[in-house]
Amino acid sequence: MSHNLRRMKTYIYDNESWTDFTWDNKKVMIKLGEARNQQGRLLGKMESLGFDLQNEAVLNTLTLDVTKSSEIEGEFLDIEQVRSSIARRLGIDIAGAIESERYVDGIVEMMLDATQKFGLPLTKTRLFGWHAALFPSGWSNLNKITVAGWRKDTTGPMQVVSGPMGKEKVHYQAPGSDSIEPEMIKFLDWFENEHEIDLVLKAAIAHLWFVTVHPFDDGNGRITRAITDMTLARSDKSIRRFYSMSAQIRAERKQYYEKLEETQKGSSDITEWILWFLQCLVNAINSTEETLSKILQKAEFWKLHSTTILNDRQQKIINRLLDGFDGKLTSSKWAKINKCSQDTALRDIQDLMKKDILQKEASGGRSTNYGLRSIHPR
């Protein structure tokens, strides 16, 4: 008895008819209008680019989506592997493509299924397929998990915790596993058959609803964000993704978790969650402006150097520098990234300096740093 009383006051799903969500329509419509306006402007801008630049933008966005969605969970994927895996599946030729590992391909396949086939219905079977793609070995770290099936809670309730062992703080406890099947039937029916609601608003609600049910042993966050992207693709009526919600959530991760926890411990009035989600979307679209200028700079660079002879190692590093290299480029990093000797790395670098592509940068340490020369069209 006391257990039920405690839970009645704890989480959103303890309220009767908890999924009959309500919100302040006036406030939401103002913010929704802003988000829709930004979406339209961005799509218009992107459509004015040539096909190759659009491909480059889509490749950038999807690479960000996959890597940042995993980063939110504390998993850091190899960007080049992700990029190569996406390019292969979309039939886009890229310089310096590399082989990708099976688990990277699985995450990529889930994201592409969600965004490139957004018009297909979301079903239990499809969700199970995504889950199987995320966990090809049937293990998550050192834990054997239920794959392509709802969680069983055999070792106790599903909890979202933080902090060291023995001093964990419980942020959220998901509904018991016996309620997952009815909850998911209700969610999937709403997701496919509720057509009265704006799709951007639907993305905000679907995100909260799915992550609150937390139906899997692991991978709930990534699948939630795939569902979000799928709904946003439906709202854009396009398979071409130009902004990354996952990258923005990663940038606002602290607020994201705070807002989620606050909402999951509140009533079915989810106004604050929706407003946060819509602002996050506006921010995601705004930060695409930065990506766009990088893409245009990249296009200008390769146009300028279309006849310059470069080897694969040089192309790979130049692309990384144009995409925004993490940290400082040194000859030892060059050797490590390209799996070549230090001598080869130095020869490559010196060749690029002769060709006016690289320059030495003012160094703060013992090793010499290199950067791209600024582009001045001839």
pLDDT digits (tens, 9 = 90+) for 60-69: 999 999 999 9
pLDDT of residue 7: 43
> Residue 276 falls within a domain, yes or no?
yes
For the stretch 301-324, pLDDT in tens is 888 888 899 998 999 899 888 877
pLDDT of residue 250: 96
Structure tokens at 328: 């400082």
- Cα gap 322→290, rounded to integer Å: 12
pLDDT of residue 3: 33
Q: Are residues 324 and 289 part of one domain?
A: no
pTM of the model: 0.83
> Residue 168 falls within a domain, yes or no?
yes
For the stretch 209-248, pLDDT in tens is 999 999 999 999 999 999 999 999 999 999 999 999 999 9
Residue 205 has a CB neighbour count (10 Å cut-off) of 22
For residues 73-78, average pLDDT = 92
For helices 79-90 and 102-116, give the axis angle rounded to 10 degrees: 50
Show the domain range for 330: 312-372
Element (H, E) at 233: helix 220-236
pLDDT above 80: residue 110 = yes
> Residue 336 falls within a domain, yes or no?
yes
For the stretch 176-221, pLDDT in tens is 999 999 999 999 999 999 999 999 999 999 999 999 999 999 999 9
Q: How many domains does the chain have?
A: 2
pLDDT above 70: residue 6 = no
Q: Are residues 227 and 358 part of one domain?
A: no
Provide the pairing of β-strand 159-162 with 358-361: unpaired
Q: What is the mean pLDDT of the chain?
A: 91
